[in-house]
Chain A
Amino acid sequence: MKKIFQHPARDAKPTLWRTQGELENSAEFNESLAREFTDAASGRDAGEGLSRRDFVRLMGAATALTGVGLTGCRRPEAHLVPFAKGAEWTVPGKFLFYASAMPTPAGAVPLIVTTSDGRPTKVEGNPLHPLSNGSTDAFAQASVLDLYDPNRSKEIKHDSLTVGRGDLDNLLAKIRATAGSNAGDGLAILVGRENSPTVERLRAALVQQFPKILWVQDEAISSRGAEEVFDAMFGAGARPACDVAKADVILSIGSDFLNPAESGFGFANGFAKRRDPKGSMNRLYVAENHFSLTGGMADHRLRVRASEYGDFAAAVAAAVASKTGDAGLKSLASAYKGTGVTFDPAWIKGVADDLLSAKGKSLVLDGAQQPAAVRALVIGINAALGNLGTTISVRQTGAKPAAKLSDLCAAIKAGSVKTLLILGGNPVHTAPAGLDFANLLARVPETLHLSLFTDETSKVTHWQVPAAHYLESWGDARSLDGTVCSVQPMILPLWNGISAIEILASLAGEKIDGPSAVRATFASYSKDASDAAWQTFLKNGFAAGTAWPLSAPAFNQGAALAAVQSAKGSASGEFEVVFLRSSSVDDGRYANNSWLQETPDFVTKLVWDNAALVSPADAKALGIKDGDWLRITAGDRYIDAAALIAPGHADRSVSIALGYGRNGVSHVMEKVGFDAYPLRDSSTLGYRGGVAVKALPKDAYVFARTQEHENMEGRNIAREGTLGQFREEPNFASEMDGELPKPVSIYPNPPLTGDLQWGLSVDLNSCIGCNACLVACRAENNVPVVGKDQVRRGRDMAWIRIDRWFASADHREESLEMIPMAVMCQQCESAPCEAVCPANATVHSEEGLNLMAYNRCIGTRYCANNCPWKVRRFNWFDYNERPLDQLYYGPLAPKGMADSLKMAKNPNVTVRMRGVMEKCTFCIQRIEEAKIGRAVKAGASDVTKTPLPAFKSACQQACPSEAIVFGNINDPQSAVSKAKADARTYSSLAYLNTRPRVTYMARVRNPNPAMPGADLVGAANRRNEHA
C-alpha cells in the first residue's frame, strides 16, 4: 500500500535547481535523492516509536474499505488519506468498522476491525462469515498490539546499513532480471502458511515465468505430516472437514481440537452446542499426555504418553474391529508396530463400545503433529465407524504441495540456491535442529528476510525488510473451509512495512497499486469480478461460495496400511519430550506481545515463561519441586529448563511449549522461558522419544503464576454434576448451597430503579478456558501489562481471570478433572466493596452496576480486601507510564509510553494512574454507547420502550463457545435472562448474600457408566474438606 500524498512530481525542467542532475532530472539523481533521504536520515529515531509528526501523518482512514453498515461504497479511490486532512465519512470519536481477516496457519480468522480516528484498536469476529460466530481467539485479540509494537522492525537494512526503498526495488528488479535470464535457477522463496490465494496466484505466475524457482513453505508447528497422509488416502490437496456438532461420541487422541490456534475456528462452538444437558449431549473421551483445553472438557480422560498414542489408537481399532468384524481395520490394528504398552482393557472396551453405539455419529480425532501411522489408524477407525461422509467430510483444496524446509536445506547444501527470500517465519529459530539451518543460510550468497521483528533470522540475512502487519496491508486469506477472506489495511504502514504480496508481485513483474494484486486474484476465482462484487467482498469480509467443495471421502485401505506400517515403535521405558504450541506465543511468533506473554497458560497459569511439565510421579522420582532445573537430553543435544509439576500429566513424559527462550531479540522476550527447538528434528516435530531427563543441582527458577492453589478445598465454587444427576435434579447446583440464612441487610441497598438491569451468565459447561475473553478485555479496557516480577508478587491487572480448578474425587491422578471458571467483577447488588470505601469512590448505579470513580479513588484498598472474589485490581505503580523494568526507580525512571502504544488504546476507556483501584465494569463504555444509541433512536418517544441496539461485552463477544452471556436481566426475553433461568444457574458464594449479578451455570459431565471410574466423573464437589 503506497501513500498517495507524496512530494509533487518535479517538473522535467525545474526552474530552480541545485545540481546539474536535478536540472536534468536524471535517474541517477532521483535514486541518490531517495537513498539520501531515507526515513532514518530524515531525523526519525528508529528506537523510539513514532514521532508526533508521523503519528498525524499516518493516522489514515481506509476509504474504499466499505465498512459494515457504513457508507463508503460510493468512494472508488483505494487510497489511504492522512487523517490530518479530515475525511468526510468520519465523525471524530466515533468508531468505524471494517471487515478484514487475520491470516494464520490454521486458516484466516474473519474479523471486524474497530478503528478509532484512523487507528485500529480492537478486533472482533465477523459474524457474517459462515465459520465464525463472531468470536475470536486470544491471538487475534492481541494482534492489535503487534501492530503498534515499538520494537517492530522499522527500516530496510542491507548488511546492517539502513537503505531506502529504492534499493530494495533495485534488488528485486535485479533478482527478476537474473531469474528471467536463467529461468529462476538459484532463486528460492520460503513462505509461511498464510493460506493466501494471491500468494498462490503469484507463486503460479512466478513458476510459470521462472520454472526453476524453488518454492518452499514451512511452519514451525505444521500439520504437513498429517496432510501428507490425507493426500495419500484421499487424493492430493484433500483436507478433512470435521463436524463436531454432529458427533454424539468423540474420541480425541492427543488432539487439542477445542483450541482455535490448533484447529481453526468452529470446533469450540460446534462442541459447545452439544453440551447442553437439556438437549442431546455429546460425550468426549480424551487420551492425551498433558492436560489440554480439550482434556479439561473430557468426560473421560486417560493419561497416555504421546509416543503411545499409536498403541492407544491401535488398541481402540482392534476393539472396534473385533466388534464389527471389519477385516480392514483389524489388519490396520495388527499392522501397527507399537511399543507393546497395554491399556486398561475396560477403558478401551468402553470407548470402543460407545463409539460403535454411535456409528456414523461419532468422531475420532488426532493431533496434527502425530506420525502418519496414528493418523492412518484414526482414519481407519472413523471409516469403520461409518463416520466418513457424516461427521468427517473431505474438502478438495486443489493445493499444490510446496517444497519442504528439508528440501531447501538440501538445495543449499548442493549449492544450488543463490538467492533466498524468506517471506515469513523465523526459520533460524524454529527450524528442526538437525537441519542446521543457520549455518546453511550463511552459505547462500544473497538472502532476504521479511519480518515484523528483527529476529534471529533477520540478524543473519543480508537484507532485512520490515514486514507490513496484516492490519496495514492488502491481502487475502482462506479460512479453514476455504472461504476467501479479504485482508484490508486499516492504517498506512507505521514503519514503511512491506507485505509479502508486494515483494512477490514485484518479482512477478506485476505493478502493484493498492489492492490491485488482491483484486486480480479476486477476478480469478470470483464468477462476478465487477466493482460491485469486489465491494461486497470487502464489505462482507469474505467471498461467499468460495469454500472448497465438500466430498464424501472414499477410504483408501492400501494407503492407510502403508502409513501404519511406517510406524517405528519406541522403547517405553525412556522419557519422551512433547513439543507444545504455546497458549501465549504460539510457535514464538507472538513472543514480543506483552499482552500474550502476560496471558496465563490455559492449564499451568504460568505467565512470561514456559516450563518443562512433568507428572507428579515423575517429579517425585526425579526428586524435584516446581522450578527445579531439568536437563533434557535428546541425541547429542540438550536443553536445560525449569520444571513445573503438572497434575494429570502422563508419566515418563515431559511437555514443553515452543517459542520461548529467545534472548537478544528484544527486551520484552529477554529471559523469558526456555528454548525447546534444539530438541526437535525433522522426524520428531510433535514429540521425541528416547530422551534422557535428569535433575540439575541448581537454584530453583522462579516462575510467575496467576493461580497457585488449584484445589477448591471442598468449597463449592465451580460446581459440576453428571447428566444423570442433572436429569434427576436439574437444580443440583443451587442445591449445593444448602440452607442459606435469611437475607438481611443493615444498610439500605442502592435502589435498582433503572429500566435496564445488567447481568452476566457464565456457562461452565461450554467455557473451555481458552483465554480469548482475557485478551479481549485487556484490549477493550486498556488493562496494563505489569511484567513477570509484578505478577510473581500477585499484582496482575487482568479484569477477568480464568480460575482453573483441579478436582479428583478419590485423590488419584487417573480421576483428575479440570474446570476452568471465568471470574470477573460479580457486580453484587449488595456489594461488600461499596460499604467499606471511605471516599465513596465505588458506588452503585441504578442499573445494578458496581461503578468505580477513578478520580475519587484514593487507594485505601479496603474494597479489594473485602471482595470475596478478589477481582479488584490495584495500580501499585504507574504501570502505564513507567518502563516495567524500572517501576522501582520511581520518579527517576523515564515517564510516558511509546506513542505507538498510545495509539492502541481504546479512547472510550480511561487509562488509570497509579494508586487507584480498577476492575471489570461490564464494559460500561459499550453500555453507554448503546444507551445513547437508544435515546437517539427514541427521539421524543418513550426511551424505555425503545429496543436497545444490540451489543455485547468484550468478553462475551470474543468467546468462541458462547459461554458468556451478558445483557439486560430486566428483559425476560434477553439471552441472559434465559440463561439465568436455567436450572443449572447458581451464584458462587451465595451464602454471603451479596446477590452477584454474575451467575454461573454448573458444568454437567456425561460419563459412560460402563467406563472404569465412571462414578468419579463429575464429582468435583464431592466433599473432601479437612475442617
Chain B
Amino acid sequence: MSATTSNETAAPDLSAIARPPQVLNNRGPLWVTDAVCSIVEGKTPLWWYAAISVSGAFAAIGGACILYMIVTGVGVWGSNSPCFWAWDITNFIFWVSMAHAGSLISALLFLTRQKWSISISRAAEAMTVFAIVCAGVYPAIHIGRVWFVWFLFPVPNSYGMWPNFSSPLLWDVFAVTSYLTVSSLFWFAGMIPDLAVLRDRATTKIRKFAYGLVSLGWLGTARQWRHYEMMYVLLAGLTSVLVVTVTSIVASDCATSVVPGWHATIFPFYFMVGAVYSGSATILTLLIPLRAIYPQLKELITPSHLDKVCKLLLMMGSCVAYVYVFELFNAWYSANPFERGAFWERFTSSYSWYAITCLSINLTIPQLFWFKAVRRCLPLVVVLAILCNVGMWFERFMIVTTTLTRDFLPSSWGNFHATIVDILTATGTVGIFFTLFLLFIRFVPIINMSELKAALPGSQPHGDSAHSTGEGH
C-alpha cells in the first residue's frame, strides 16, 4: 500500500519508491467531481454528434443486414461446408473476449485493491458490457431458425424437450447470459453513488428525474454505504470468477470438439489470456483519445495508469505468444497426422496470410511494451493497441475459420469468402459498440468518482490503508 506514514522523527525520502498518486496535481475531491461531471453536464460537443452519426449509421446498416439475414437465410453470409462457422463465431469470440479485460480490471483488481485501476474501471466495465452486447448479437442470430432460439433455454414446454446439457453451445448460453447480467449489474451498481451526484447537481427537471430514477434513491448514508460496499464486493467476486469461466466455456466450443486444431486442452487458457490481451488493447484505444478530448481526464487517468495497462497487455501478450509456441509444439509432439496437418495447413494453405498476420502482430507488438519509452508515447500506444486488436481478430479468424477449412478429409476441404453482408454485419457490431460507448461518455460519469475520491490522499480517516478492509467510508 501507499507508503505515506506518520513517522515524523525519521522521515527518509521515500519518494523514489512512492506509488504514483491516483490523481495528479494534488487535486481535491471537489475538483474530481467537477472534472468528471462536467463531461456529462456540459454542452454536447459537435464531434460527439458527428461520431454518433457515423457509428449509428454503421449500427443501423448492421441491423439491416441482420434483418436481411434472418428473413433470407444464413446463406447470405459466406459460411459454407466445411466452414459452417466463419465470421459469426469469429466475431463472437473476438467481442466476448475483449470484454474480459474490463471485468478483470474492475473486479479482480478491485478485489486485490489495486487502486490504479479505479480511474479506468468504469470505462473498462462499460467496454465489457458493450462488448458482450456485440458478442451476444452473433449467437442469437447466427442460427438457421432464429425464431426457435428459445429451444436453447431450459424452458419447461409441452414437448417435454430439454436442451442438451453436454453441448458447449448450451454452456455458452449460460455463460454469456450470466456474464452479461452480472457485468451489467456490477457496472450499474458501481455507478449508483455517481449517478446520485449527477442527480444532485442536475439543473433541469428532466435530468433530475432521469438521474433520480437510475440512482435508486441513493442518499449516501452510512447504512447505504455499508450495504453497497458488501454488494459491490460480492458482485466483484462473481465477476472475477466469470473473467475466468466465460472465456473458458467459450473456448470449450473449440476444445470439446474433435476438430484438429480445436481439440486441445490449452484452449481455455489460450482464450483467457487472449481475451485480457485484446481487452487491454481496447481500453488503451478508447481511453487515450478520450484523454485528449477531455484534458481534465489527463489528471485522472494518469500516464502511470496507462503504463500499468500497457504492462498488463505485455504480460498477456507474452502468454499468448507462449500459447502459440506451445500449440505448435503440441501439434508436432502429438505425432497425430491430423493435428500436424491442421497446423501445417494453417501456415501453408491459402489462409497462410491470416496466420502470418496474426503471429507477426501478436508475437512482436506487445513485446515493444518492454520499453518505457514506448509505453509513455501515448499516440504510439494507441496505434500499437489497435494493431494488437487487429492481430487478435486475425487470431480468432485463424482459430475458427482456417481450422474448419482444413479438417480430417481433404476431400471436403474448402475456402471461405466473406460476403458484403458478413462485412457490414461485422462493422455493424463495431458501430453498436461505439454508439453505446458514445452514449456512455455523454450520459454517465466515465470515472468512478466515489471510489476515486476515497482513494485520494487524506480522504481516509485512518489513513489510506483502512481502505483495504473495505470499511473505510
Contact = CB atoms under 8 A, between A and B. Distances in A.
A418 interface: no
B151 A856 contact: yes
B340 interface: yes
B201 interface: no
A712 B410 contact: yes
Interface residues of B, number: 57
Interface in A632-656: none
B75 A790 contact: yes
A832 interface: yes
Nearest to A871: B412
B164 A839 contact: yes
Interface string B330-358: 00100011101101100000000000000
B73 A877 contact: yes
A859 interface: yes
A508 B257 CA distance: 71
Contact of A838 (B74, B173, B341): B173
Given A713-B410, A717-B409, A795-B80, A839 B72 contact: no
Contacts of A404: none
A914 interface: yes
Residue of A796, A870, A994 with most chain B CB atoms under a 10 A cut-off:
A870
Contact of B407 (A840, A841, A870, A890): A870
Given A715-B341, A914-B144, A1027-B337, A874 B167 contact: no
A858 interface: yes
Contacts of B21: none
B258 A866 contact: yes
Contacts of B169: 836-838, 860, 862
B144 A874 contact: yes
Contact of A870 (B81, B85, B338): B81
Interface string A833-855: 01111111100000000000000
Contacts of A715: 337-338, 341, 408-410
A740 to B, nearest CB: 12
Interface in A792-827: 793-796, 801, 803-805, 823
B64 to A, nearest CB: 12
A887 interface: yes
Contact of A866 (B145, B164, B259): B259
A865 interface: yes
B82 interface: yes
Query: On chain A, which size bracket covers the interface?
Result: 35 or more
A788 B82 CA distance: 17
A709 B410 contact: yes
B409 A915 contact: no
Contacts of B46: none
Give the dominant DSSP class at A's interface.
loop
Contacts of A994: 258
Given A878-B73, A915-B143, A868 B409 contact: yes
A486 to B, nearest CB: 42
A1009 interface: no
A52 interface: no
B84 A857 contact: no
B143 A865 contact: no
Contact of B161 (A840, A876, A891): A840
B148 A865 contact: no
Residue of B81, B85, B142, B170 with most chain A CB atoms under a 10 A cut-off:
B81
A283 to B, nearest CB: 28
A864 B89 CA distance: 14
Given A840-B162, A861-B144, A890-B71, A709 B413 contact: yes
Nearest to A988: B409
A858 B81 CA distance: 17
Nearest to A836: B167
A859 B142 CA distance: 8
A717 to B, nearest CB: 6
Contacts of B71: 890-891
A915 B76 CA distance: 12
Interface in B267-309: none
Contacts of B412: 707, 869-870
A686 B146 CA distance: 55
Interface in B8-53: none
A866 B414 contact: no
A887 B76 CA distance: 9
A714 to B, nearest CB: 6
A888 interface: yes
A873 interface: yes
Interface in B402-424: 404, 407-415, 417
A877 B72 contact: yes
Contacts of A630: none
A840 B152 CA distance: 9
Residue of A790, A836, A874 with most chain B CB atoms under a 10 A cut-off:
A836
A708 interface: yes
Interface string B222-233: 000000000000
Residue of A839, A864, A869, A1026 with most chain B CB atoms under a 10 A cut-off:
A839
Interface string B154-185: 00000001111011111001000000000000
Contact of A860 (B83, B143, B336, B340): B143
A875 to B, nearest CB: 7
Given A794-B414, A856-B151, A887-B73, A837 B167 contact: yes
A364 interface: no
B74 A915 contact: yes
A1025 B338 CA distance: 11
Contacts of A803: 409, 411
B257 A864 contact: no
A5 interface: no
Contacts of B83: 794
B219 interface: no
A1025 B151 CA distance: 44
B85 A861 contact: yes
B144 A823 contact: no
B258 A992 contact: yes
Nearest to A994: B258
Contacts of A841: 151
Contact of A793 (B78, B142, B336): B78
A838 B257 CA distance: 13
A794 B73 contact: no
Nearest to B417: A793
B149 interface: yes
Contact of A916 (B72, B79, B145, B411): B145
B74 A862 contact: no
Interface in A3-51: none
B450 interface: no
A1027 B83 CA distance: 23
Contact of A794 (B76, B82, B164): B82
Contacts of B162: 840
Given A859-B74, A859-B145, A839 B409 contact: no
Residue of B85, B258, B332 with most chain A CB atoms under a 10 A cut-off:
B258
Residue of A709, A710, A804 with most chain B CB atoms under a 10 A cut-off:
A709
Contacts of A992: 258
B254 to A, nearest CB: 10
A708 B337 contact: no
A864 to B, nearest CB: 4
Residue of A801, A878, A915, A991 with most chain B CB atoms under a 10 A cut-off:
A915
Given A859-B74, A876-B80, 17 more contacts: A707-B412, A713-B337, A747-B166, A838-B163, A838-B167, A838-B169, A856-B161, A860-B143, A866-B259, A869-B409, A870-B409, A873-B81, A876-B79, A888-B72, A890-B73, A891-B71, A989-B408
Interface of B: 68, 71-76, 78-85, 142-145, 148-149, 151-152, 161-164, 166-170, 173, 253, 256-259, 332, 336-338, 340-341, 343-344, 404, 407-415, 417
Q: Would you list the 10 A-B pairs with minimal beta carbon distance, nearest first?
A: A859-B144, A915-B144, A876-B75, A890-B72, A794-B80, A1027-B340, A870-B412, A861-B84, A803-B411, A915-B145
7 contacts: A710-B410, A823-B411, A838-B167, A858-B149, A866-B257, A868-B259, A891-B71
